[in-house]
Structure 1
């Protein structure tokens, strides 16, 4: 499979080249030249297939010939080691729990898959520096996925006041081949610094940079797998049902773009919901046809505090920039903090189910939209509620128990370099040689 740039002025690259490069030089996004269709036999077998088996079938066309079938099967067996269950919350509304991995967030899937790909591609005499901006869960998933790998250094860039305490602990206390940089600004500022780093010629001559945000195809593509897995579980529970809607809490829109790519491969999902917090650029676009990125607004659902979604061009590419075609499949929804909080409290009281702030947005979108869409619905529960311990305890008025994956970070000492939102200083920092836990 070859990949082209969504800006259409960069040379095509193989999967290996696209993964290592991260971003095309024209500042577009890599996109597969072909979108394969999966056979009817795959969907007939899907309800009984394991996660690694689904991953192998879905991803093989996208990684060949750079990753052999044997190596891909090994990667899938190493990555998909934790459950991703579909849980009924109430009649016709299900939660796809994506928080059972090592860092309790959906990004464990993409980060672990990408780490294995980069490890396979890294050259001993040319170490790779993985540069990642995070609004919370990406940083911890990437740092954990790459921890201890030879010839790969990881630099996590995050807004100093824009992530939860537990999220911050997960990527600032690891040391080894990981470093953290706290920026005085928003996630959008961090994302802009990372993008500028990839376009800086001097920096790229000295450092072999690669991205681990969902802009990287090796982070983005494996997210398709759990949509197929969700549908298989749903069909087991509802063998006669034909239509379903999936609500995706959305920030940078890589997750939704992956679901829509799965749909183009044949996944029979009728509608998707782009569910956001007050950073509602895409819901506004779906309503008005005007796409206007804006400064991000801080909310209780901090991982979605993105005012200029990186992955939205991939969604436009999937639909050929046809707004009307997009509107037929993707429905927009947004909600403010007060409604998120009241929803978390109400669902916990009435159903005994604990939503995190991001999952609450997905749940609420289904509650409001399903009567008109006339289908059952699945929402993605993207992170464990305990990752937002302080906010959740304030909402529910009770202590939230930390899962074992998070308890290990309590009491560890942070190692972080704080700096202003300034590319010159950021570049100078990156040019330094890596030392454990610091640049």
Structure 2
């Protein structure tokens, strides 16, 4: 499989190059030159398949000319020992796709664990250490830290904005030790992301180090996230209705993953981009003008992204055609007061406890279904376990939220991080001292 840069489509690289180098030198983003089309027979036969089985089948279609089927089967089944179940709120109308049953209790476990397996596969034939740089607004860092912890030949540096992640999210980033190092940045997620992007085009660093990313700027974070859209479709096709997905969105990797499997033939009737006050994409869908802005801090912190990297990927997937983009995606956004009210209403109406991000996804879905008045089955992505936002959820719902044991054990561990200003040279100096 070959990958092109969004800034120079005529230049392509191999799977291994795109995986380990993450960003092209021209500062574009890698995209597959070709997505195989999986016909109706494929999607009609997946109702009873596990996430691992679906991941294996799609991986074969993508990579079987480079990686053996045996290796792909081992990779996908090791990456996905957990399920991504669809839970009905209103059977045949409104459902949630629970993506928090992995080790870090967030949807990003799927992409991080698949990436770790793929890197481990290729690293067996190399003696050069890979340095992974990650910017996180909340859940990415925890999923990457847990997915890559103690993976041989890999060191991970995670940059996160001070004071802008929940306490348990921070513990996931800062307590594992070993090959995981956290950098606490006095700034926003956008600052963290800018530092990571600058590192990838720093000639001095790249001359001596093998740098890669596990952010959604790396195409291999996104490809496996498409697997759970396919799994969800298989679980709701029993209703024999067109399917719409509502995706809580920040950096827009998750929605890009859905658009990729749509291009591969997944019968998606429509996508909903649901955001908080960082609503540059919903505004674009309304006005046709894309205007990134500094990020705004909200209670749904994992979506606090003012300049989403993956917008360019979505645009490419829809042929850089605004009308095609708007035909396939609708945008809704909600402020903090609306999010709190939505969390309470969802609990009162359905008895379902949703984190603020999941609540925004459900509210976006409900808004779209109410507006369209079409007979769809809607699936909102539940992106994180509510215990990751325990104080907020308990305050809003006035009830205790139980913390799963795999997260609770981190709560009492000591935090270790390197505090730096939002400055690339400061990061580079500190980073070089850690390797």
Task: Name the TM-score, length of structure 1 as normaliser.
Answer: 0.96
Alpha-carbon distance between aligned partners in 1 of 2:305 and 2:10, rounded to the nearest angstrom: 26
Instruction: Confirm whether residue 290 of structure 1 aligns to residue 292 of structure 2.
Output: no
1:36-435 equivalent positions in 2, closer than 5 A? 36-91=36-91, 92-122=93-123, 124-236=126-238, 238=239, 241-373=240-372, 374=374, 375-434=376-435
SS at match of 2:111: helix
Alpha-carbon distance between aligned partners in 1 of 2:390 and 2:190, rounded to the nearest angstrom: 24
SS at match of 2:415: coil
Alpha-carbon distance between aligned partners in 2 of 1:32 and 1:60, rounded to the nearest angstrom: 15
Q: Give how far 1:292 is off.
A: 0.3
The superposition leaves residues 354-410 of structure 1 with CA deviations (integer Å, 9 ceiling, x where unpaired) of 011011011111111103331221100000000001111111122211012211102
Q: Contact 1:10–1:24 at 8 Å: present in 2 too?
A: no
Q: Contact 2:44–2:234 at 8 Å: present in 1 too?
A: no
Moved more, 40-49 or 29-38: 40-49
The superposition leaves residues 232-290 of structure 1 with CA deviations (integer Å, 9 ceiling, x where unpaired) of 00013x1xx23121000000000000001111111111000011000000000011010
Alpha-carbon distance between aligned partners in 1 of 2:266 and 2:9, rounded to the nearest angstrom: 31
Q: Give how far 1:46 is off.
A: 1.2
- The 3 A distance-change label for structure 1 pair 276 and 108 is same
Q: Contact 1:128–1:208 at 8 Å: present in 2 too?
A: yes
Q: Give how far 1:68 is off.
A: 1.8
Alpha-carbon distance between aligned partners in 2 of 1:157 and 1:406, rounded to the nearest angstrom: 20
Alpha-carbon distance between aligned partners in 2 of 1:66 and 1:167, rounded to the nearest angstrom: 36
**Which consecutive segments of 4 or more residues in structure 1 shift more than 6 A?**
none
Alpha-carbon distance between aligned partners in 2 of 1:422 and 1:365, rounded to the nearest angstrom: 36
Gaps of 5+ in 1: 435-439
- In the alignment, what sits opposite 1:437? none
- In the alignment, what sits opposite 1:23? 23
Alpha-carbon distance between aligned partners in 1 of 2:325 and 2:215, rounded to the nearest angstrom: 24
Alpha-carbon distance between aligned partners in 1 of 2:406 and 2:10, rounded to the nearest angstrom: 41
Alpha-carbon distance between aligned partners in 1 of 2:62 and 2:23, rounded to the nearest angstrom: 17
SS at match of 1:47: coil
- The 3 A distance-change label for structure 1 pair 235 and 163 is same
Task: Name the TM-score, length of structure 2 as normaliser.
Answer: 0.97
Q: Contact 1:370–1:376 at 8 Å: present in 2 too?
A: no
SS at match of 1:232: helix
Q: Contact 2:50–2:83 at 8 Å: present in 1 too?
A: no
